[in-house]
Structure 1
Amino acid sequence: MLDTHMRRLIDPPLDRAGRALADAGIGANQVTLAGLVIGLGAAIAIGLGWFVLALVLVIVSRLLDGLDGAVARRNGVTDFGGFLDIACDFAFYGAVPLAFAIHDPAQNGLAAALLLAAFYVNGTSFLGYAVLAERRRMSTDARGLKTLYFTGGLLEGTETIAFFIAFVIWPDWFWLLALVFAAGCLVTTASRVMLAWKIFGSRP
């Protein structure tokens, strides 16, 4: 919901940093993988109860997730880069709720499972829409230059990052935040299904 507005704020500094990294010989895929490794480090820290460290690692990981696109725009966007980026994002998004379940199964297990199920459904609707959009040669740059077609919704990247930061700032409230987040994911999925019906419901 907020990505389009946030892009106007974050893209200029990210592009400057991305150009510097690209000029130093660092590739977008390297930045993507570094972001994943740090993000998985955040999940390990959560599982161990080291939430201050986890907060730092989550923020650094998501900054790198934004920087990889800026580096790619400098060096040239590739299909594999887009594939790697979304695969690493999904790995990070799944690892964090799992880590909270491991940290406190009694309090967080059910909420983490519900959030992971909501992620699964929402991710399926997102990727399915992107496949059909590609088939119809649709394009948009409202959320930056992407290799996949990104649809909007109640929860986008900005809101997702905000929830993940909230998880590690208030870990005792993970279960409640996760339930709210899961509900938002399902609302986003429903709105995307309705949009898909409107756009793809008839023959091309």
Structure 2
Amino acid sequence: MLLWINGPFGGGKTQTAHELRRRLAGSVVCDPEHVGFGLHRMTPPALRGDFQDLPAWRQGVYEVLDRALTGHDGTVIVPMTVVEPAYFRETVGRLRERGHDVRHFALLAERGTVLRRLRERGFGRAVGLLAGKDVPPRRESFAVAKLDLCLERLRGDEFAAHLWTDRLGVPQVADRIAAACGLALAPNTDGALRGRLRRAWTGARHIRFD
């Protein structure tokens, strides 16, 4: 089974994916951003744009996930924002056509909720700075610029199932997804502080510099 966790930038995809992996035995996270940033590194800076516009990205994501689903016995978890219907069909759609069990969830929230979460990334940025990583704010600017488009597109029927997360924490979002898929998660034993530190560390480990 593949769990594709979609949503606006800053909507909690990565945190939810790693919470699921932590509590779901045998699962793995396969992040399509790695394909995109690899393509960026091969491209002169002046020619870089949205890597999702590259056919090579869509084909590469399809091939890698097809291989993972074919060769791995556990659940494959994919955190990735995709709001272009054609690109969605080239990735999620083709994997379903291939016969894979793909469950898609769009994590939605009110605009103000997503903006607040983006501001809270500053806590993860502080952890990154302590670890010697200078985190540029441009990703938050990109996320804000794309926010309205993401929220509008992801409300469409094509991007169901929809999961509104305004009043849910990351562990609760993971619980809802697992329940919808018939998956049994290990209990969440984190207290409030430990959970916050864990999410900050997850954010710091996924800082991008490209």
Higher relative contact order (CA 8 A, sep 6+): 2
TM-score by length of 1: 0.27
Larger fraction in helix: 1
TM-score by length of 2: 0.26
Larger fraction in strand: 2
